[in-house]
Amino acid sequence: MATTIQVTDLNQGYGKTTVLSDINLTVTAGEILALIGPSGAGKTTLVSTIMGMLRPKSGTVRVLDTAVPNRALLAKIGYMAQTDALYTTLTARENLHFFGTMMGVPRAQQDQQMAHAAAVVNLDHDLDKAVADYSGGMKRRLSLAIALLADPPLLILDEPTVGIDPELRQQIWQELHRLADAGKTILLTTHVMEDAEEADELMMIRGGVAIAQGTPAKLLAEYQVPTIEDVFLKAGRVQDAHTRND
Ligand SMILES: Nc1ncnc2c1ncn2[C@@H]1O[C@H](COP(=O)(O)OP(=O)(O)OP(=O)(O)O)[C@@H](O)[C@H]1O
Ligand SMILES: [Mg+2]
């Protein structure tokens, strides 16, 4: 399968602080990779670097066979930032139209794609409300609908399931699996182990270091534990032991 994202020997940080150390990551077409780790682990920093919003301190990032940063790439990525970037004085429908036009969705397809994206996140009945009157979870769902709108080959979703109830979470996962089956690549971040269990590939990140990587089945076998959460905890203890020995 074609490689969609290739991160090689990445070191990243802000000013003199190091936030990510020696990250190597490959995501292939049709695959869902979840970056899982606690708050402050470096997930958003990694996603922002893959998007080309932060220049690596060292190492390289390639997306869809193109070196990052590259302006043309942005049209091929459905990006959902951790912080919603919505026009709160506009309605949800107006936001969808605006971003659809920005992302070059042809006018003739906009209504149909909007309806589909809104249905995936259960916002079909709330599209004419001003976003200012939306709850936090509704704003997350609208941001996800915007990321899906242009039907891009790559989705990069930073905490897409925050503030989303279990039933809708399942519906969203169904859609993500459908997209992956159709050959799209999906990179997402999460704190939640339930999300990790849905992904094809995992990268567990703690303190800016990838402590475990692979398919859920491979990790369960390698660490000989019953759950993905246990893999994370065990890999964390291994990391702590190494750090103490350094
Ligand atoms: N713009 C910034 N300037 C300086 N330090 C930053 C900046 N953004 C993040 N950091 C630091 O980098 C580290 C990793 O932050 P990051 O946002 O990547 O973590 P995260 O895994 O996404 O956390 P969360 O789950 O809370 O979103 C943290 O220690 C954070 O304080
Ligand atoms: Mg984050």
Q: Residue 191 CA: which ligand 1 atom is closest?
A: 25
Domain chopping of the chain, boundaries: 3-245
As a CATH number, domain 3-245 is 3.40.50.300
Per-residue confidence (pLDDT) for residue 148, from 0 to 100: 95
Per-residue confidence (pLDDT) for residue 10, from 0 to 100: 98
Kindly report the backbone phi and psi dihedral angles of residue 122, in degrees, each rounded to the nearest multiple of 5, phi listed first. 55, 40
Q: Which residues line ligand 1 (CB under 6 A)?
A: 14, 19, 37, 39-45, 82, 191
Per-residue confidence (pLDDT) for residue 244, from 0 to 100: 84
Query: How far does the centroid of ligand 1 lie from the alpha carbon of residue 45, in Å?
Result: 6
Query: How far does the centroid of ligand 2 lie from the alpha carbon of residue 153, in Å?
Result: 23
CA distance linking residue 209 with residue 68, whole number of Å: 22
Of 10, 11, 12, 14, the residue with max ligand 1 atoms within 8 A of its CB, to mutate for a pocket test, comes to 14
Supply the residue whose CA is at minimum distance from atom 28 of ligand 1: 40
Q: Which ligand is nearest to the CA of 39?
A: 1
Residues in the chain, pLDDT under 70 = 1
Per-residue confidence (pLDDT) for residue 231, from 0 to 100: 94
Q: Which ligand is nearest to the CA of 42?
A: 1
Query: How far does the centroid of ligand 2 lie from the alpha carbon of residue 112, in Å?
Result: 32
Per-residue confidence (pLDDT) for residue 96, from 0 to 100: 96
